[in-house]
Structure 1
Amino acid sequence: MAKEFQELIKNINTIRPYARDFYIYGFKTREEFKQKSIRSYDTERRRIESYFHNNIESEINGSKKTVRLAIDSTDLSENPFFSIWKAKSFTKNDIYLHFMLIHLLKEESKNLQEILRELDNEKLIEEGTVRKKLSEYVKLGILKQTKQKKVNYYKLILFPELSSDFLTAIQFFKEVLPVGILGAYILNAQKVSLKSPFIFKHFYPVHTLDDQIAFDLLTAIRLKKHIEIHLFTHKKKISKSFLPIKLLVSSQTGRRYVMGRTVGSHNFTSFRLDHIESVKILGVDEDFDQIAAEFKDALPYFWSNMNGNFKTSTFRMQLRIDEYRETYLIDRIKREGRSGKLTKIGPNLFEYEVKLFDLTGIKPFLRTFIGRIVKMEASRKGFVASFLKEVSLMYEFYEEEH
């Protein structure tokens, strides 16, 4: 007998890879999705079509249907991927207890026995179920627990009324900071609904799918604890013991990375949050403060490649820039050149110098100055030659195209 389709989901990890692929790659047939079975693809596609019914585009190629998410950030004031977080499944007892507890504990504190007496006896909810739900809501900050004569009492924590200026700030930060879904939850709890004044040119909505991972990592960092990371993989399960130090967000792609050290290593490494399936928080690491200080000292010498040793290489290049007509280029280098230094060495001639652990990550930045580069040199043997070879290959490719 076929299983009935359920729009709600118990675990967001079941839909994370599908939602991301539909948005980033799109237009794939179900045979091209390799995560799970074809039946799983059909189920997740139906869910996505339900959550994003205003953003779905489909195409028929022969007998095959392909689907993609078409999201125009200039028409949005809220991340449409937040809808996935609001689709968590629940039981009849969950929904009944949720509203009954809010109703019973809104005005005055009550203990477990008083709550049980006021609940509908016909529901036949066991005492253990109610106790577990109360403990869960205390942990979530929905209820406040106090003790009177060795008896626990519970009361609803009323949500504060926030000023319009505060709500406007939340409308902005929920779209640009990790764990922005919390901002959406806060706005949903307000009695007054305000239209967001913000529209974003560079908008990376899909990364909210990693908000639970970001929350767990930030919690571990705050508590100075090491963790066990479980990575997405099509084959065997991969787990790593890891000490998270800092979360970094790329201003170019919106991708989120966690920086830290794997157990047994002396080098820093990074993991992309969208590659992490789950995080398990373990014990306190006594060396956290020392390792965090080492990372702070090392951070200026990273570009984009966050894996490597602590041996720095120096790179210099001379650039021809019209210092009167092209001041925007000078400003851009100062803004985007990370820890590098820009120095004027002659009329319309500038030198950019930077020290990095791994020069490979700077190549995309260098390519934006092709045509202005007068001279390049690097302490790492072969780096300049490899860069020039890549430029030559790119030139040959475009020559063939035309």
Structure 2
Amino acid sequence: MPYSDLTKNFENVRDYLKEFYIYGFRKRNEIVLKQDQKEKKRNEENERTSAARTYDDRKRKIKSWLGKTYMQDRDYLEGRVPYISVDSREIVHNPLYTAFKTSTFSQNDILYYFFLLDFMTKDEWLSVREIMTNLRSYMAKIYDAVLEVKKEREKRTGKIEAIDHDDKKFEVNEKNVKKILDEYVRVGILRKESGKLHEKRGNVFTLAENSVELNSWKDAIQFFSEMNQLGVIGSYLLDKMNQIEEMNSSIEEIESKIEKDDSRLSDQKKYQVESFTFYFKHHYLLYALDSEIILNLLLGIRKKRYLEVVVWSRKKKKNVFHVVPLKIHVSTQNGRVYLVCYNAEKSDIRLLRVDFMQKVEQKEICDEDLYEKIQREYAVRKPYLWGVEIGDPKETSHVEMTIQIGDDEAYILQRLEREKRNGHVEQISANQYKYVADVFDAMELLPWIRTFTGRIAKLESSNPLLKQKYEEDLEKLYAMYGGGDEDDVS
């Protein structure tokens, strides 16, 4: 079979994109062994293709999508190591979205998603029969054009070519046409009316009015495409406006005009160009690879459906959960995305990491009374949720942190109010403020508490491990940087 850089199933390359971007230090034989073991667990009975051949094929696909700009190789004595490297200061658009724009397509896709909309207008109402006639006409023209090309090629080469199955003329399916038309009406691309209003039989369709001026939304779309978990939608809209090509070409022109200088001031000039509204110091790119998973989760939340979620654990163990999705939580600290859901088997609420999910399948609609009960349970637990640990509201840990804030340091108080996820802040003296919270796991606050080191006057918790761990960390810091008799630091 000839090589193609298109892919039928995005899940096939999702693992490899993560492998090259997150790790980027594993050699070919290590990745092949890992994927081979994973494939065995996915399907023990069916015949599997060679993991080595699969690796070579998917690596070549990814490299053709991203190019040498983002995907490179390091050569070691033990072998070559592929990796993806992206400097978020030098890009204005997530390059991983390219993977979604390389899907294969069939004749039906061209027929229903391109030809059909090509002849629909705002000025003419067409019946289903007229639409089918137009589609057949389009296909006949394409079929005749293919035959002409093959005849010309046969004259030049003297070889008679067989007509491939995909080149054969086929009948337009009325059921499929009606289904696609109803889908377009539902999403607002087409309008539908009774044919009686236009002296025609059945329903008639026309192109819907589109009053949205995309260019006026450019900044909002650009921000959405880089920050939202479904930003790939914004990426497609930017493609439509040709914004990505314009931005990238402008960057090259600007960079060529800026003198090369290692100073920080030069870097600031380079990246704070007025032509571009947004640049990101910390840009979480990987959520792009979970877009299809996120979409299915959001559909489940909207329709209040049960979902069957396949999750791979860190130990590469496959787990299948039957859940009711409630909320999606996104960490601004590390970019990870979690699904808050009700586990039907265990009858409890838990959080599942989205990037560990392999597959999400829509199931039956949840009973309305049960769904309301689950929502009430979640509402009771939410005030005590700091990270991913969730449990019984009666078994929480109490945390109190007193910090010192100077008269001219109002920004510290603002930060405290802004970053706290629950609890409250109270002033206890002119320059001291106390943060008070009850949480399921006090240890989850520790990384955040550390950021106030030097200002913490007092730290108390019903979980003694929190204060103990914090004090141990301070002792280690002092041992490393505090200096001693034999150290140069004093």
* Class of the TM-score when normalised by the shorter of the 2 chains: 0.7 to 0.9
- Residue in 1 that maps onto 2:298: 218
Inter-CA distance 89–323: structure 2 relative to 1 (3 Å threshold): same
- Residue in 1 that maps onto 2:52: 38
Q: CA RMSD in A?
A: 3.1
- Residue in 2 that maps onto 1:262: 343
Kindly, what percent of the aligned residue pairs are identical? 29
- Residue in 2 that maps onto 1:139: 183
* 1:109 maps to which of 126, 143, 155: 126
- Residue in 2 that maps onto 1:272: 353
* 1:366 maps to which of 438, 443, 449: 449
What displacement does 1:11 show?
Answer: 1.0
- Residue in 1 that maps onto 2:45: none
What displacement does 1:240 show?
Answer: 0.6
Within 5 A, what are the aligned runs for 1:304-319? 304-310=387-393, 311-319=395-403
* 1:240 maps to which of 321, 334, 341: 321
Q: Are the equivalent residues in 1 in contact too, given 2:127–2:195 (CA < 8 A)?
A: no
What displacement does 1:304 show?
Answer: 0.9
1:124 paired to 2:175: no
What displacement does 1:138 show?
Answer: 4.1
Distance 2:378 2:338 in 1: 14
Inter-CA distance 52–116: structure 2 relative to 1 (3 Å threshold): closer
- Residue in 1 that maps onto 2:92: 77
Which protein has the bigger strand share?
1
What displacement does 1:242 show?
Answer: 0.6
What displacement does 1:147 show?
Answer: 5.6
Please give the per-residue CA displacement for 1:117-162, whole angstroms capped at 9, x wherever unaligned: 424344412333x743662464364555556477454545565541
Please tell me the residue identity of whatever aligns with 1:284. I
What displacement does 1:87 show?
Answer: 0.7
Inter-CA distance 306–59: structure 2 relative to 1 (3 Å threshold): same
Distance 1:144 1:43 in 2: 44
Within 5 A, what are the aligned runs for 1:303-382? 303-310=386-393, 311-319=395-403, 321-346=404-429, 348-380=431-463, 382=465
Inter-CA distance 398–159: structure 2 relative to 1 (3 Å threshold): farther
Distance 2:316 2:180 in 1: 35
- The structure whose Rg is larger is 2
Q: Are the equivalent residues in 2 in contact too, given 1:146–1:153 (CA < 8 A)?
A: yes
Aligned partner of residue 327 in structure 2, secondary structure: strand
Report how many aligned residue pairs link the two structures.
Answer: 397
**If the length of structure 2 is used for normalisation, what is the TM-score?**
0.72
Distance 1:378 1:184 in 2: 46
Q: Are the equivalent residues in 2 in contact too, given 1:134–1:143 (CA < 8 A)?
A: no
The gaps in structure 2 that reach 5 residues or longer are 37-50, 144-167, 248-275
Inter-CA distance 236–125: structure 2 relative to 1 (3 Å threshold): farther
Distance 1:237 1:313 in 2: 33
Within 5 A, what are the aligned runs for 1:18-97? 18-33=16-31, 34-36=34-36, 37-53=51-67, 54-62=69-77, 64-95=79-110
* 2:240 maps to which of 189, 197, 200: 189
Aligned partner of residue 219 in structure 2, secondary structure: helix
Please tell me the residue identity of whatever aligns with 2:235. A
- Residue in 2 that maps onto 1:6: 4
Aligned partner of residue 81 in structure 1, secondary structure: helix
Aligned partner of residue 226 in structure 2, secondary structure: helix
Aligned partner of residue 120 in structure 1, secondary structure: helix
Please tell me the residue identity of whatever aligns with 2:342. R
The gaps in structure 1 that reach 5 residues or longer are none
Q: Are the equivalent residues in 1 in contact too, given 2:115–2:135 (CA < 8 A)?
A: no
**If the length of structure 1 is used for normalisation, what is the TM-score?**
0.86
What displacement does 1:92 show?
Answer: 4.2
